[in-house]
Structure 1
Amino acid sequence: MSGEQNQGPWFVDEETDQYLASLDLAMPADEPPDALWARIAGSLAGDKGHVGLRLNEGRWREFAPGVEYKRLWNRNTLLLRCAPGAAVPDHEHRTYEHAVMVSGDLMVEDQVFGPGDYQGTPAGGTHPIWRTRTGCLVLVHYEAA
């Protein structure tokens, strides 16, 4: 759990990681607008001492129908956003997964999680299907492999 080996796939499994990588390559490379770099530089140089990103800013990627994710500060940390009625399929984890509910509801087998609740899946474990009735936002962190 302490990151003694090289970092493995950041999300779910190798097959999914390869699938998502091919989607990234399907779009031609594009330079961000000059104004974006100016905004970033201004934020970094300002007296605020922090960088912010609003929930609807940045790139959200589809994982499953009604389920999307956005990487945050590294490959191992992301937000998972699920529409009402959506489900995250069961899958294995190569590293320990930590999940903290930010909003909404999440049903995992016979347990219902709400805002502030924590759910963990150990390395090598399979987490069952996650379902939501009302939709949810989950902060997910994977420990380095």
Structure 2
Amino acid sequence: MTHDRLPPPRPAPDPLDDEWVGLLGEPFAAAWCQAAGRPAILRERVLDRVTRSARASRAFVTVRQKDAPLDALADGVHARTLYEATSRQLRPGEPRRVRIVELAAGACWRPELRDAEQSAWLPIAGELQLGELRLAPHDFHLRPAASGPAVATSPTGARFYLREAPGSPAADAVTVRDAEAGWDDFAPGIKRRVLWAGPGGEAALLYHALPGATVPRHGHGHDEECLMLEGEVFLDDLLLRQGEYQLAPAGTVHGGVSTDTGLLLFAHGDLALDLRPE
């Protein structure tokens, strides 16, 4: 079953919907203050929650689309850098570089890939031609280290995720077709597809979740990347929307993950979640 046959995410709720605006106005606002006993109590609680949430989120790298400018790489080729390592000593599962690349129709790009690194490719929109290999949206391809130069083209224009990280030249190339791959049950309301599983429990995955699905508190043995393909998700108190990205470094903890809309999400991190008690 492909993700096209699974229920699509719901539209995000409108924060200015008339029903909600009415609840935020009078006489409800005054009633909330009276219920709290002292008007300052509610304000103090909100500020405390915001402060604690902001402090916790500093451990993560979050990239909004509006904050990641497009850089020109060649004629008809632009990229947004989502993550770039600042140290030669990488954490478990840490990528050296992650980008969203946009190819105009007919453009040709030869990325400078290091021989000691593997590259993961996931088209988000349009068809991507990688040498003789043609990839459709949500197909996945892993090129082992020392695979030689790669030439990316697109007859229609394409946008794709490209991850570069240390890898073994002895590893096999992996290609997973969205139209042919199935989904495994992962948790209530959540299915997942294992795209690649490497040594030490590291993996690349697709997750499909129904509205209201949750994942409890969990730690990260490897860096965990989340790229929103469709829908929205709360990572703790942080809302990640379509096209946005977060990297949680190895050793960090997510207090909880939930979605109101449902989602389709690409992740690179632990194959088995390290669930933690509350």
Normalised by the shorter chain, which TM-score bucket?
0.5 to 0.7
CA offset at residue 108 of structure 1? 2.0
Which residue number in structure 2 is paired with residue 69 of structure 1? 192
**Deviations, residues 13-42 of structure 1 (Å, cap 9, x unaligned):** xxxxxxxxxxxxxxxxxxxxxxxxxxxxxx
Alignment of 1:55-94 (within 5 A): 57-72=180-195, 74-75=196-197, 76-94=203-221
Which residue number in structure 1 is paired with residue 262 of structure 2? 135
Aligned length: 99
Equivalent residue of 2:133, what SS? coil
Equivalent residue of 1:124, what SS? coil
Can you give the 5+ residue segments of structure 1 that lack an aligned partner in the other structure?
Answer: 5-46
**TM-score with structure 2 setting the length:** 0.33
Whose radius of gyration is greater, 1 or 2? 2
Equivalent residue of 2:134, what SS? coil
Alignment of 1:1-145 (within 5 A): 1=90, 49-50=133-134, 52=139, 53-54=177-178, 57-72=180-195, 74-75=196-197, 76-142=203-269
Equivalent residue of 1:133, what SS? coil
Can you give the 5+ residue segments of structure 2 that lack an aligned partner in the other structure?
Answer: 1-89, 94-130, 140-176, 198-202, 271-278
Q: In terms of mean alpha carbon deviation, does 56-65 or 118-127 score higher?
A: 56-65
1: distance between equivalents of 2:91 and 2:257?
26
Runs of 4+ in 1 over 6 A off after TM superposition: none
Letter in 2 for 1:63: F
1: distance between equivalents of 2:264 and 2:244?
12
1: distance between equivalents of 2:210 and 2:223?
25
1: distance between equivalents of 2:260 and 2:225?
21
Structure 1 pair 106–3 and aligned structure 2 pair: CA distance change class (3 A):
closer
**Deviations, residues 46-96 of structure 1 (Å, cap 9, x unaligned):** x95235522x64131222101111012x21111011111101122111110
Structure 1 pair 142–108 and aligned structure 2 pair: CA distance change class (3 A):
closer
1: distance between equivalents of 2:227 and 2:133?
26
Structure 1 pair 90–57 and aligned structure 2 pair: CA distance change class (3 A):
farther
Query: Does structure 1 retain, via aligned residues, the 8 Å contact 2:91–2:222?
Result: no
Letter in 1 for 2:217: D
Structure 1 pair 127–3 and aligned structure 2 pair: CA distance change class (3 A):
closer
Query: Does structure 1 retain, via aligned residues, the 8 Å contact 2:226–2:245?
Result: yes
Query: Does structure 1 retain, via aligned residues, the 8 Å contact 2:91–2:223?
Result: no
CA offset at residue 139 of structure 1? 0.6
Letter in 2 for 1:59: G
Query: Does structure 2 retain, via aligned residues, the 8 Å contact 1:106–1:133?
Result: yes
Q: What is the percent sequence identity of the aligned residues?
A: 32
